[in-house]
Structure 1
Amino acid sequence: MDTDILGTLAVREKGFSITPTAPKPRQVLALLVVQADQMVPVGMLSEELWGGRPPRSARPTLQTYILQLRELITAALEPDAADARTAKDVLLTVPGGYLLKSGGGGSDVREFERLAGLGYRAMDAADFPEAARQLRAALALWSGPPLADVHAGVHLATQVKRLEESRLCALDQRIEADLRLGRHRELLAELTVLVSRYPTHESLCGQYMLALYRSGRRGEALDAYQRLRATLVRSLGLEPSAALSKLQRSILMARPDGSPAPAPASGSAGPGSTGSGPAGTGRLAPVG
């Protein structure tokens, strides 16, 4: 079974789509996919579909959705006479819930994690061309927000948030690799959009400041710091991290001709380089 969730939901068995069009069965399939090869309790599926107020008919309705998914799986399996599996061998009923067997098929999430892992290891080894290449390939697997066409209840929303954080971490490190390769001018347009989309993300702001500074736009780099500071104080009651403040002082004290260039402010090159500050801030790890 091949599964794609880094964008719209697409699930295929033997090359045939088994993705239902109706919203509720899609939601059930999406939760089974993100928990593939693990038992998904009936209670979790019920919470996902109806929150804390399931209807009296919740269990038989859920069973109907499972039956609909199995009908799609059966239609996908039928053309292959050599495959003795039935739909119940792919989507199992197990004590307490259901289990979707992936059968070792392709998964865009697994491929993203594999490529991102290669990129992080290349960053640790200071192989910035390889890091940029692997992380760019990992990010290319994304066609939009995860499960973009599926209504997300409480459990899917958690999975979507986790995936979005993983993407943002890979993006942060790919930009860091590009900065190390001197691609600051090429990054400016992308970073302008990102700091607008994530106005409290310190690592992205630091990278934007550095790209502006290295492009001869020192005043704009300092303005970017002040905007972030104002946003952090107003929305979170926080001052910028010590690492970002250090970068701001380095730019402030630099000569008008743009030298010496300040060091990158994003700390270590691994996947945790955005630090451990409050969620959504992307606070920088201390430098030095």
Structure 2
Amino acid sequence: MHVGILGPLLISLEGVAGRIDLAPKPRTVLAVLLVNAGVVVPISSLVREVWADSPPASALRNIQTYILQSRKLLSQVSGASKRAVARDLLVTRPGGYLFGAEFVQFDHLTYQELVDAGRADIRQGHCMKGVALLDRALAMWRGPAIVDVMSGVMLDARRHQLEASKLGVIEDLCNAKIAMGRYHEAVADLAVSVCEHPLHEGLHYQYMRALSMSGDRAHALDVFSRLRMNLVAELGIDPSDPIQELQRSILHSSSAGYTALYPPSMGRMTPVV
């Protein structure tokens, strides 16, 4: 069985996706168990995720009903009996429930394996191989993480973690492509991300580098101006020192720092939005 959370919630068997026909609340319960696969999730945590600080008197009974509905869905998708699902897949444990990970492939875990391997190859100087692995990792995303699930604190935190990881991978990938002289590819990779995250200095830093080295200094300086305007308007702060130094280097037509595989630390990073 394959489970996907890097986009809309996905459960498939042998490449055939099963319809996740669950109402919002049981869908949330199932999603919490999926993103915490292999770990017992306390019933209290499930109640808090679904109803925050205002659970109904029937909350415990409702959670039990949602678990039964989830087991029925998993049985339909996997072809296993409900008894087998309750024994091996969505398991009752003292005080909570556990989604077994032994026979399931999760897209976010495969994604992380590709990311770790790609970054290791880049650090060791195998840039072409590392870039290919990071490209594969990013290609696994089908949209915003668990986008079709009503979320509370736990899922919001997990979604933010995954999205922040994705942005970090985009930075590392484009940094390596710039070091390899693939400036135009880096520009294409960053264009959308910079628009979607107008306060993210790391993405803007790499975008400015790629634009400048591809010969578009005017656009690179415009990117800095828009970043500065957004930071001042939204947060009341100026861009960090490294990106201001990059702007000055571009103004003076300097290539200093452009070819380093790992540029200076960005220092203060603005929030991902």
TM-score (structure 1 length as normaliser):
0.84
- Establish whether residue 42 from structure 1 lines up as the match of residue 34 from structure 2: no
- Establish whether residue 238 from structure 1 lines up as the match of residue 230 from structure 2: no
Q: CA deviation at 1:22?
A: 1.9
Written as runs of structure 1 = structure 2, the 5 A alignment for 1:50-199 is 50-75=51-76, 85-199=84-198
- Establish whether residue 253 from structure 1 lines up as the match of residue 271 from structure 2: no
Residues 218-260 of structure 1: CA deviation (Å, up to 9, x unaligned): 2222222122122222222222222112211111112xxxxx5
- Establish whether residue 264 from structure 1 lines up as the match of residue 258 from structure 2: yes
The match for 1:280 is 272
CA distance in 2, matches of 1:113, 1:86: 27
Q: CA deviation at 1:216?
A: 2.1
CA distance in 1, matches of 2:178, 2:28: 40
Q: Aligned in 2, Cα 1:79/1:117: closer, same or farther, shift over 3 Å?
A: closer
Corresponding pairs, count: 272
Q: CA deviation at 1:193?
A: 2.3
Normalized per residue, the structure richer in helix is 2
CA distance in 2, matches of 1:22, 1:51: 18
CA distance in 1, matches of 2:219, 2:53: 49
Letter in 2 for 1:227: R
Residues 65-87 of structure 1: CA deviation (Å, up to 9, x unaligned): 1111222334456568xxx9352
CA distance in 2, matches of 1:73, 1:268: 45
Q: Aligned in 2, Cα 1:161/1:26: closer, same or farther, shift over 3 Å?
A: same
Does structure 1 retain, via aligned residues, the 8 Å contact 2:118–2:133?
Answer: yes
Secondary structure at 1:85 match in 2: helix
Identity %: 37
CA distance in 1, matches of 2:204, 2:85: 53
Residues 188-243 of structure 1: CA deviation (Å, up to 9, x unaligned): 34433222211111121122212221222222222221221222222222222221
Gaps of 5+ in 1: 255-259, 282-288
Secondary structure at 2:97 match in 1: strand
CA RMSD of aligned residues (A): 2.7
CA distance in 1, matches of 2:247, 2:150: 42
The match for 1:8 is 8
CA distance in 2, matches of 1:185, 1:86: 49
Q: CA deviation at 1:34?
A: 0.4
CA distance in 2, matches of 1:3, 1:87: 17
TM-score (structure 2 length as normaliser):
0.89
Q: CA deviation at 1:20?
A: 3.5
The match for 1:257 is none
CA distance in 1, matches of 2:245, 2:37: 45
Q: CA deviation at 1:276?
A: 5.1
